[in-house]
A = this chain, B = another copy of it.
Amino acid sequence: MTQIKEKIIRIGQMAKQASEDMRQLSSEDRSRILMNISQFIKANHFKILEANQKDIEDAKNKNLSSPLVNRLILDQKKIDALVATVENIAQMQDPLGQILDEWSQPNGLSFKKITVPLGVIGIIYESRPNVTVDAAALCLRSGNIPILRGGKECINSNTALYQCIQDALSDLGFNKNLVCFIDDVDREFVQELIRLDKYVDLIIPRGGLSLIQSISQNSTIPTLKHLNGICHTYWDNEYSEENAEKIIVNAKLRRPEICGATETLLVHEKIDSVSINNVLQSLMNQGCIIKGDKKIKNFFPSAIEATEEDWSTEYLDKILSVKMVKDIEEATKHINKYSSGHTESCLTNSSQTINYFFKHCDSAILLHNASTQFADGGEFGFGAEIGISTDKLHVRGPVGAQHLTTFKYLVTGNNQVRPK
């Protein structure tokens, strides 16, 4: 057995053991820990920024790309946001012990289905140091023990943030292993962590597509993952140009780099050419490249001709593919074929059209007359999210503390035995 394997097994055992201690804690205890973490982050913001400065310098010395460096950066504003998130999570309703269902059977057995923590969650993330705190806070809220494994580019920031969590736990006299952390950047730790099925109940990978695919394919532990967001907006003919422009521009350009950004616009063929021109021109004026199918190009010659590949491309950039469709039926067919099942929006004032869309479209989040950029745990009222799931099992869409739970059945009898 390698030293790394031995070390990861020890961490797994510690985490499993800590999950027993976690069970003793009340909702108030867990809130108190979260409030104390926010205090320690506030008190140590200089240390955190200093550590972050070191990561940024290292990254620059290694000539990392500027988007990568940007993701690393913490500043006072980001630390304030981090503190606010933790305090928000501290005040959320406890997701544990919720009664999901209750019934009894004719033989007198009575059933209660209640929420409980999943147990131990391995969280593997890349370059955003805020994940260290967000993930720890969501796991504490939901009674789970996280094993955090951040990217090597922000090891100093992560370590400084983790130190605040550790100090907040000891300060209140709780087991420091309620939040576990892998402080070694050797990649072998990730390979071993995703096979630690004896101790770990769930793996959540966060980062680029290739990292996530590689983890989910090699893990012997169930994973909860976000692959990609090929999101659509359908612009129906029964909808005003004014509102369409407002929503489409927001859905594409508010932040083109997020997974909830619209990548394909489907336009009803009966919308007049002037309106189509106006909306596409407005996008172009704001720096957006338009890739249109042949029909769209006829209306709007500045469009680049879209290829088959465009319909399944997540640009994450100021690029929009646009296709003309006969009706909501064709739009839905296109979406169900090319979408990644993340988020779609239908812009229409026809109740028949929205009913068809809601019934037949198969994605996790379906919006009526609103921007796809609302695909976000905060916007859903979940307090914070650990990511957006494009899986179908366990949870779809934004993953908040309430989704990091499972359930157990409590069955109360009166000395019943099962007949032959």
Contact = CB atoms under 8 A, between A and B. Distances in A.
B371 A418 contact: yes
Given A23-B360, A416-B370, A365 B409 contact: yes
Interface of A: 20, 23, 103, 105, 109, 111, 116, 118-119, 201-202, 217, 220, 222, 224, 243, 246-247, 250-251, 254, 336, 358-360, 362-371, 373-374, 376, 379-381, 391-394, 396-397, 406-418, 420
A105 B379 contact: yes
Given A217-B220, A391-B222, A417 B246 contact: yes
A370 B109 contact: yes
A410 B103 contact: no
Contact of A417 (B20, B116, B371, B391): B371
The oligomer's copy count stands at 2
B365 A408 contact: yes
Nearest to A415: B243
Given A23-B360, A119-B392, A391-B222, A247 B374 contact: no
B392 A406 contact: yes
Contacts of A380: 105, 111, 409
Closest 3 CB pairs of A and B: A370-B413, A250-B417, A373-B418
B365 A411 contact: yes
B336 A366 contact: no
Contacts of A366: 408-411
Contacts of A416: 369-371, 374
A371 B371 CA distance: 53
A355 to B, nearest CB: 10
Given A254-B417, A254-B420, A373-B417, 4 more contacts: A247-B417, A366-B410, A368-B413, A370-B417
